[in-house]
Amino acid sequence: MNLESYVAGGWHEGTGTAVLVNDAISGEPVCGVNSDGIDFSGVVSHGREAGAALRAMTFHDRAERLKAMAKQLMARKEDFYALSARTGATRADSWIDIEGGIGTVFTYASLVVREFPNDTVMVEGGMERLSAKGSFVGRHILVPREGVSVHINAFNFPCWGMLEKIAPSLAAGVPVIVKPATPSAYLAEAMVREMIADGFFPEGAIQLICGGVGDLLDHLDERDVVTFTGSATTGRKLRTHPNIVANSIPFTMEADSLNCCILGETVEEGDEEFELFIKEVAKEMTTKAGQKCTAIRRVIVPAPKMAAVEKALQARLSKTIMGDPATDGVRMGALVGRDQARDVRARVNQLAQECEIIYGGQEEFPLTGTDNRGGAFFPPTLLRCNDPFGKLAVHEVEAFGPVSTVMPYNTLADAIAIARLGKGSLVGSLFTHDDAEARRVILGTAAYHGRMLVINRDCAEESTGHGSPLAVLVHGGPGRAGGGEELGGARAIKHYMQRTALQGSPTTLMAITSEYHPGARTYSDDIHPFKKYFEDLKIGETLVTHRRTVTEADIVNFGCVSGDHFYAHFDEIAAKDSFFGRRVAHGYFIISAAAGMFVEPSPGPVLANYGLENLRFIEPVGAGDTIRVKLTVKEKIKKARRGDEKPNGVVVWSIEVTNQEEKPVAVYDIMTLVVRRED
C-alpha cells in the first residue's frame, strides 16, 4: 500500500517508484511513499487561495476550530497508538508524540482566546506618541501573511512535530503544507486524514505531501514561511535554497544538537540531586530509543565523581528491558528503521576513536518479545571522554540514538567551557541545590542554549524534565541547533504574521485597530454606557463624570477601612518632609472613588467587573483637590457562549482620573462582562 498525499482538494497517490517503509520491530513492509506526479505549483496556489477564507475568520474562530480538531484527534488516539508502535515506540514514547501533540493544540486554542483579540488583526504594544501635541501617533499591528507555511518535519515525532507547527500557523490564519519525514509518514498521514475528514478548517488550509517536495520551494515567495526540523546538514541546504535567499523567505530551523547535562560541583553522591541526575540521563538515553532532538548527548560531571556516576548509570541502564513494545515489561523499543540503526552504529564508531565505550555498543544484545533479524534495535550505549578539551569528536559527532558520553570537569569554569563547546544547543540542564552555583552556570551558558533548566529536590516532582519542550516556552537554539525558535506561546503565532508599524492620527488608528487611542475623537450621548448592551457600545464612546472634592475625612476614613496608615496619609510632619510635600490620599482611594463616580448602580447589561490592568498613579491628590473621571470604550472582545450563561463579551474601558487643573492623576483599564443581545 502506498501512502497518499492530500493536495489541491484531493488525495493523490504518487506515480513513480515508492520508497519502502518497514516496521521498526519486525522489518515487515508498512507502506510505500512517493510524491511523483504532484503539481507543486498548484499545491502552493491552492493553499494561498484557501488563505482568504482562513484570514476572514477571527483569532477566536480559529481557536474554536483548533479545539474541536484536537477533541476529534484525541477520540481517535488508540488508532494512532497502534500505528506508532510500528515506528518502534513504546506506549510511553507514543504518549509524548500523540497526546503531547494533541495537548499542544489544546494549549494554543486556549492561549489564543486568552491573549488574542476576537478580530482578524492584532494590536501589539502601546501607542507611541510621535508629536508634541499628540495628533500624530504610532502603533504596531500584526496581520496574517498572505501565503502558505511549509512545514518539513523530522521522523522522530510524526505527530507532535507536526501539530506544534500546525496549531500556531492556523491560529495565525496561514494555511499549512505539511511534509512528514518518510520513515514515519504513515502516522502523520493517518492523523491528517482525521483533520481533513471532519472539515474543521476551510478546504486547502491543510495539505499533506508524503514523499519528496520536488520543486515546491521554487514556487514560494515573500508571502510564505518555511519551518524545518531535522539534521543540521539538510537544514543548511534548505536554508540556502536560491529562491529562499532571493525572496528573503522566513526560514525557521530546529536542528539536532549535542545537548548537555551538568552535575553540579556541590552535589554529593548521596544527595537527592545525584539520584535525580542519574535517573534523568538514563531516561533521556532510552526514551524514544534516544531519537530526540533534545536528548542528552554530553554528560558533564565533576572529575572526583566520575566513577560513581558511571557505576550508577550502568546499573540503571542494565535494568532497561529492550524489545517489542507490545510485550509486557519492555521499556525501550527500536530505532525508526535499519538505516537509522546503521547510522547510529557508524557514529558510535566515530566517537570510539577518541572515547571509550563503557557500556553497551555491542553487536549482539538480548531482546524481549522479538529478535533483531528484521528490526532496527540498538542497545543503550555509554561512552567516556577523559579529555573533553583535547578530544573534540564528542562535541562534533551526534549518534541519534540511545547514546551519551560522560566527561569530567575540574572546576565550574571548566564545566561552563565544556557546555559551550557544543556550539549551540536546544537545551542544557543542571542538577544542583546551590542557587549561587546555578546562577553562575546558567549565566555562563545561556547564550549557547535555547532552553535551560535547573532541577533539584524543590522542583523535581513536578518537573517536565530535560527533554520536554513546552508550548508556552520557546523551542530552538543558537548555532548548531539551527538559530530558530518554535513554540513559545504567542511568539510562535506571531512568527506567521507580518508586524507593521502604523503612523497617523489617533482617530484614524482607532478606526484601523478597533481600539481607542488617547487623543482620538470620542462620542457620547444621554444614555449611560453601563446601560448599553455589548453590540450598542462603540469604540471611543466616552462618559465624563461629575466632580468630587477630596476631603481629609475621605483620607482618614479610607485608612481606617483599609488598615493602610502609611505616613504619607496620616503623619503631617513626615509627609511634609517627603517628596509629596503634604499629606495625600491613598492611590486606591482615588480608584475607589472613581468607580463610585462612573458606575451606574442600577441593574443593567453589565454583569461583573472582570479585572483591572495597567494602573499608574501619576500625580498625588490631597485634601481639597477635586477629581473627575473620563470613561472610554477602549476595546470590545466578543466571547463564545458557554453552556447556559447569557451571551456576553468583554469590554475594556480606558479610565483617566484628572484633578482640578485637568492633569491626569491616575490612568488604568478596567474590564467588564457585558451582555450581548444575540444568541
pLDDT at 433 (0 to 100) = 94
Residue 448: which pLDDT band, with cuts at 50, 70 and 90? very high
285 and 247, same structural domain? no
Report which of 52, 20, 12, 24 is spatially closest to residue 374, judged by C-alpha positions: 24
Res 62 pLDDT > 90: yes
Cα→Cα distances 625→56, 554, 676, Å: 50, 12, 39
Would you list the DSSP string of 279-323? HHHHHHHHGGGG--TT-EEEEEEEGGGHHHHHHHHHHHHTT--BB
CA–CA gap between residue 37 and residue 569 (Å, rounded): 80
pLDDT for 105 = 94
Separation CA 45–CA 286 (nearest Å) = 43
Q: Output 447 or 233, whichever has higher pLDDT.
A: 447
Same domain, 167 and 277: no
Which position has the higher pLDDT, 395 or 235? 395
Say whether both 374 and 446 belong to one domain: yes
- How far, in Å, CA of 527 to CA of 532, rounded? 8
Query: Does residue 99 lie within any of the structural domains?
Result: yes
The enclosing domain of 655 has a CATH number of: 3.10.129.10
Whether 246 and 263 map to the same domain: the answer is: no
Q: Which of 483, 498, 513 is the last residue of a domain?
A: 498
DSSP classification of residue 330? -
* 209 & 247 share domain: yes
Given a contact cutoff of 8 angstroms between Cβ atoms, the answer to whether 339 and 382 are in contact is no
396 in the same domain as 267: yes
User: Which residues constitute the domain of residue 630?
Assistant: 522-675
Judge whether residue 540 has pLDDT over 80.
yes
pLDDT in tens, 645-679: 788 889 999 999 999 999 999 999 999 999 988 75
pLDDT of res. 576: 85
Closest CA to 604 of 540, 529, 526, 536: 529
pLDDT surpasses 80 at 494: yes
Task: With residue 637 as reference, give the H or E element that holds it.
Answer: strand 626-638
Residues 6 or more apart in contact with residue 86 via CB below 8 angstroms = 23, 24, 25, 30, 186
Q: What is the DSSP letter of 523?
A: B
pLDDT higher for 20 or 285? Answer: 285
pLDDT for residue 77 is more than 60: yes
Task: Pick the closest to residue 260 from 444, 70, 109, 97 (CA basis).
Answer: 444
The crossing angle, in degrees rounded to 10, of helices 59-75 and 160-172 is 160
Check: CB of residue 280 under 8 Å from CB of residue 316: no
pLDDT at residue 644 above 80? no
Catalytic residue among 4, 189, 254, 398: 254
In a domain, 49, yes or no: yes
Q: What is the pLDDT of residues 375-411, one digit of tens each?
A: 889 999 999 999 999 999 999 999 999 999 999 999 9
- In which band, very low, low, confident or very high, does the pLDDT at 315 lie, cut at 50, 70 and 90? very high
3-state SS, residue 87: helix
Angle of the 91-115 helix axis to the 160-172 helix axis, nearest 10: 10
Of these residues, 31, 293, 355, 385, which one is catalytic? 293
Mean pLDDT, rounded, for 177-192: 93
Is 124 marked active-site? no
Query: Could you tell me which residues are beta bridge partners of residue 617?
Result: 666
Question: Given pLDDT bands bounded at 50, 70 and 90, which one contains residue 455?
Answer: very high
Looking at the structure, tell me whether residues 192 and 210 fall in a common domain: yes
- In degrees and rounded to multiples of 5, residue 470 shows phi and psi of -120, 145
Domain assignment of residue 479, yes or no: no
Residue-level pLDDT at 568? 86
> Is 505 a member of any domain?
no
Residue 273 binned pLDDT confidence (cut-offs 50, 70, 90): very high
Residue 43's Cα: distance from chain center in Å?
28
pLDDT at 125 > cutoff 90? no
Mean local confidence (pLDDT), 219-235: 89
Per-residue confidence (pLDDT) for residue 679, from 0 to 100: 57
The pLDDT of residue 19 is above 70: yes
292 lies in the same domain as 409:
yes
Residue 515 lies in a domain: no
pLDDT band at 31 (very low <50, low <70, confident <90, very high): confident
Strand order in the sheet with 176-179: 10-13, 4-7, 206-208, 176-179, 149-152, 225-230, 251-255
Alpha-carbon span 165 to 148, nearest angstrom: 12
CATH number for 25: 3.40.605.10
- 143 and 103, same structural domain? yes
Grid cell digits, residue 263: 552535575
What pLDDT shows up at residue 500? Answer: 95
Q: Are residues 225 and 348 in the same domain?
A: no
With respect to residue 472, please indicate whether it lies within any of the assigned structural domains: no
In the predicted structure, residue 642 carries a pLDDT above the cut 80: no
The H-or-E segment that residue 414 falls in is helix 412-420
Distances from the Cα of 404 to the Cα of 295, 300, 348, 417, angstroms: 9, 11, 10, 18
478 domain residue, yes or no: no
Model confidence pLDDT, tens digit, residues 581-621: 888 989 999 999 999 999 988 888 988 888 898 999 999 99
Residue 631 near residue 543, CB atoms below 8 Å: yes
| Residue 539 in domain | yes
Mean pLDDT (whole number) for 267-271: 92
Q: Are residues 117 and 44 in the same domain?
A: yes
3-state secondary structure of 657: strand
User: Which three cell numbers, joined as nine digits, stand for 107?
Assistant: 494549549
Under a CB-based contact definition with an 8 Å cutoff, are residues 80 and 159 in contact?
Answer: yes
CATH classification at residue 314: 3.40.309.10
Residue % of the chain over a pLDDT of 70: 100
Total structural domains within the chain: 3
Say if residue 120 is in the same domain as residue 243: yes
- Whether residue 416 is predicted with pLDDT greater than 90 in this model: the reply is yes
Is 261 catalytic? The answer is no
The pLDDT of residue 229 is: 87
- The β-bridge relationship of strands 225-230 and 251-255 is parallel
Distance CA 367, CA 321 (A): 7
d(CA 378, CA 288): 12
More confident of the two residues 266 and 198:
266
